Structure 1
Amino acid sequence: MHFLSFVWDPSTGLDLGIITLHYYSLMFVIAFGLGWLIMKRIYVREGISLEKLDSIFIYAVVATLIGARLGHVFFYDWDYFQHHLLEIFLPFKIQPEFEFTGFRGLASHGAAVGIIVAMYLYSKKVLQKPILWILDRVVIPVACGAIFIRIGNFFNSEIIGQPTGSDFGVVFKQLGEDFPRHPTQLYESGAYLIVFLILWLIYWKTNKREKMGYLFGLFLVLLWSVRFFVEFIKENQVAFEDTMAFNMGQWLSIPFILLGLYFMFRPQKRIPLQA
């Protein structure tokens, strides 16, 4: 008997009668909803017209979903998708037979690239401010959203940790297992909460927000460092990672960390503080 573990066997979602609202989808809704509220407060403080708020929401949602999907396709499963290009953005498989799958397979590194590209376009077309200005601020709701995305992964019993080899851990019953694993989804979610609070406090309580690129760099260093170290106790997502010194998630995190250090410690331009 595992006295320090618990069995995790949630339902797939909330049964609303006509449809079932999957918990993973609900976490995305919460993530984007809170993100919108956080950016609204930031825009009010910075004196930015709230008319530009809806645009950033659309840019962020589209970029996150497309970037995350393409990240999974190219970083983790290109061997399959190079022969099934139509399935990249379709919620079903065609071969060997038709099967509705939903949009499975999202990679956070791809989402990060997508958001950076989207914020570049948004800064040029809508905001008309330097890209680093918006990146310094958008990373705050992004860190908040990451908390709930990992909770969604926990509901789906995916991105699981390695067996603990002890009484401690979570037994993922949906996987047909009877032994505890590290709940790495919750480890990451808790760490991302800390990252969010650090960014939030620095933005509101210090003058670091006037150093263009600093908050963006700090976000990259903190969030991807968490990802890098938690990966050591995760199960590899694809077979080819078993032969790698670091898994794909770790290799992809290293450039983000280095980029973050650059933005944190480079000679920085100051921007006028708003009240």
Structure 2
Amino acid sequence: MNYLTIFWDADFGLDIFGFTLRWYSLLFAMGFVLGYQLMIRIYKKEGIDIKLMDSFLTYAVIATIVGARLGHCFFYDWEYYSQHPLEILQVWQGGLASHGAAIALIIAMYFYGKKLTKYFSGEQKERKAMLYTLDRLVITVALAGCFIRFGNWMNSEIYGKIDNSSIETVFVKNIERPLGETRYSQEIKYATAVFTGESLETDSLTYPILSVTAYPRVPFNQPQVNALFGNIAQYFNTQDINDLHAIVLADTEPVINNDGSFTFRVLGVPRLPTQLFESGAYLLIFFILYALYRKGNFALRNGFLFGTFLVLVFGFRFVVEFFKANQTAFEEGMSLNMGQWLSIPLVLIGLVMMAFAKPVELTNTEKK
């Protein structure tokens, strides 16, 4: 069977005057910027003082980053971070969890909502203000989620399980990077991997064959290349199945080229590009939420849009996790992984919010 294989080899960022601006960071920031502009538009439309947007952005950014980081550390890797607590602060090292961000945003909007109580009458003003803010915030969060998951795609991370599909993906950077940037960077300057046009068919999978060329920092003779290649082959072939991106066959031998580099062949491991599935789903959810906000009385039903967001986002997250590679070792053997267990209560909360959402109207506004 023929498959459309995506050989994803995008750089992780843009080099600007010796500084690398990572695509993930750029897309993450873009999600906030567009969300900020959309919230300003909503505030103007509904007569809310746009000066309140300054503190809103502060609450939202801090809650997202802190909550997502703590969520990852506590939910996914507490065994490690409990022994290395200072590394929790190293956000730039990666490790963010959307469930943690969701919880933190709810808490943050409770405190931010106090600034909007003057726009509500009757009892439970703080609750009304919090839900009003969340109803509008989640529209922008869905859009940001689209950008963030696309950033994960650019980073070749949070990918799917090994599988042949109509859009199977070989994450080439995860083959090249250990050679020239991380594990073997002292011996190798950089490496490239290109598709040979050949494939190997097994009973369960069809593997595309790639030619990998490594460029040593100093000239190597054949025995040195053979020894290094033996280590490289062992490294690739002993990876956990969730981190496996290349397989070196037992009869493969490295060939030294005229320029001092050496070349060997590997089987590229095809995976599902679940980052794109999620990015597309969150963009669709953004359009759904925005359409609900603009039409009918859904925007006036306090908590309805927030509940819809929880049901759609974390309901989809529950389903897509069946197709994603596990993020941590402890998830192996679990009938449901951590992302799914954390999604269940959020979906249930969302259903309750939708069922019991009550109409509420703003007062003391200057609508435009």
Contact 2:304 2:357 in 1 (8 A): no
Superposed CA offset, 1:185-240 (max 9, x none) = 00000000110000001101221111111000000000101111000000111111
Contact 1:163 1:182 in 2 (8 A): yes
Q: How many matched pairs?
A: 264
The answer to whether residue 106 in structure 2 is matched with residue 116 in structure 1 is yes
Q: CA deviation at 1:163?
A: 1.5
Structure 1 segments of 4 or more deviating over 4 A?
Answer: 272-275
- Note if contact 1:168-1:180 (Cα within 8 Å) is conserved in structure 2: no
Taking structure 2 as the reference length, the TM-score comes to 0.69
The correspondence of residues 65-76 of structure 1 with structure 2, limited to 5 A, is: 65-76=65-76
Aligned to 1:140: 139
| Higher normalized strand content (fraction of residues) | 2
**Distance between the aligned counterparts of 2:99 and 2:166, measured in 1?**
33
Q: Which has the higher helix share?
A: 1
Q: For residues 44 and 171 of structure 1, do their structure 2 counterparts lie closer, same or farther at Cα, with a shift above 3 Å needed? A: same
Which amino acid in structure 2 is aligned with residue 29 of structure 1? A
Of residues 210, 226, 231, the one that matches 2:321 is 231
Maintained 8 Å contact 2:3/2:165: no
1:170–1:180 Cα contact (<8 Å) kept: yes
- Partners of 1:2 and 1:19 in 2: CA distance: 41
Equivalences for residues 98-109 of structure 1 within 5 A = 102-109=92-99
From the superposition, tell whether residues 53 and 272 of structure 1 become closer, same or farther in structure 2 (CA, over 3 Å). closer
- 2:205 match: none
CA distance in 1, matches of 2:136, 2:286: 11
Tell me the CA shift for residue 103 of structure 1. Answer: 3.2
- Per the normalisation by structure 1, the TM-score is 0.92
Range with greater deviation from structure 2 (102-111 or 187-196): 102-111
Q: Percent identity?
A: 50
Query: Residues 272, 61 of structure 1: CA spacing in aligned structure 2 closer, same or farther, 3 A cutoff?
Result: closer
1:203-218 equivalent positions in 2, closer than 5 A: 203-218=293-308
The CA distance in 1 between the partners of 2:15 and 2:357, in whole Å, is: 54
1:127 corresponds to which residue? 116
Structure 2 CA distance, aligned partners of 1:149 and 1:166? 24
Q: CA deviation at 1:166?
A: 4.5
Counterpart in 2 of 1:41?
41
Taking only aligned residues, the RMSD between alpha carbons, in angstroms, comes to: 1.7
- Residue 279 (structure 2) aligns with: 189
Aligned partner of residue 332 in structure 2, secondary structure: helix
SS at the partner of 1:164? coil
After alignment, is 177-186 or 76-85 more displaced? 177-186
Corresponding residue for residue 179 of structure 1: 269
Q: Structure 2: any 5+ residue segments left out of the alignment?
A: 118-125, 176-244, 246-267
Q: What is the CA–CA distance in structure 1 between the aligned matches of 2:315 and 2:357, rounded to whole Å?
A: 23
- How many angstroms does 1:35 deviate by? 0.7
- CA–CA distance in structure 2, aligned partners of residues 2 and 115 of structure 1: 45
| Cα pair 2:307 2:353 within 8 Å, conserved | yes
CA contact (8 A) 2:303 2:357 kept: no
